[in-house]
Amino acid sequence: MFNYPWKSYVKVSGALRHCAFMVMAMHGCILSEIQAPPEKRLAFFEELQKVGIEGAKVLRTLGSKVEKMERLSSSEILFDVHDAAEQLQMKIDRLSFLLVNYESWEAVRLHKEKEHENLMKREITSLNEIRDDPKLNIKIDPSTPSKSLLGRSNLSHCSEGTVPEPESNVYESASSLTLATFASNLIEFVARLQNLVDEFQDLSEKANFRDPFEVEQPLLN
């Protein structure tokens, strides 16, 4: 009993605990008050469900093997879940614009460009007023850039002028983020399954688990 590899059981439980952390993180995403719109969730539904089903199969298989003290019947136990995770990653790459709320980014960019254009118009108007004022004996070269003449006011305006983001856009971005977080946690869960399988195989060798293909021969009368 002193030579039995109890430490290998501890390693398997540690690897399983790391997988459980990701399951708890995904459970937190599901219970979040802010959720992605139904149309976005439906876009990734099949791939997310496939990864979850295949990952659960791996955990059930390993649990059964530990209980029966059997080795794995195939070294490709992770093939299906890895394939499902790859399909999910490809779907995310193809529809990534659904997870980053690119429309609000484009609106902010256009708003900044419009603000910059209005600022340049105000600078030109100010220069014209200074040049046309008879009380001020100031000669301004038309070729002088307005940025050098009004550099301080320009920088002050840019530093203080922030683009306010509407509350609705913030909520929409957060809702998309919950879906992206769930998907990334699910892919991380699949990656951690590899370590769990490796630790189980190490345990099965050290503990001399029996081969599942070994069947007891019937007694001959």
pLDDT in tens, 9-39: 999 999 999 999 999 999 999 998 888 888 8
Residue 110 has pLDDT above 70, yes or no: no
Residue 108 has a pLDDT of 47
Q: Measuring CA to CA, how many Å separate 220 from each of 86, 148, 216, 217?
A: 51, 104, 12, 9
Cβ–Cβ under 8 Å, residues 28 and 185: no
CA distance 188 to 137: 70
Cβ–Cβ under 8 Å, residues 82 and 57: no
CB atoms within 10 A of CB 184: 17
Closest to 100 in 3D by CA, of 48, 175, 187, 38: 175
Instruction: Looking at mean pLDDT, say which of 75-79, 97-101, 167-171 comes out highest.
Output: 75-79
Q: Rounded mean pLDDT of the chain?
A: 78
User: Of 69-83, 123-137, 158-172, which gets the smallest average pLDDT?
Assistant: 158-172
Strand partners, 70: 210
Q: What is the pTM of this model?
A: 0.66
CA distance 57 to 78: 10
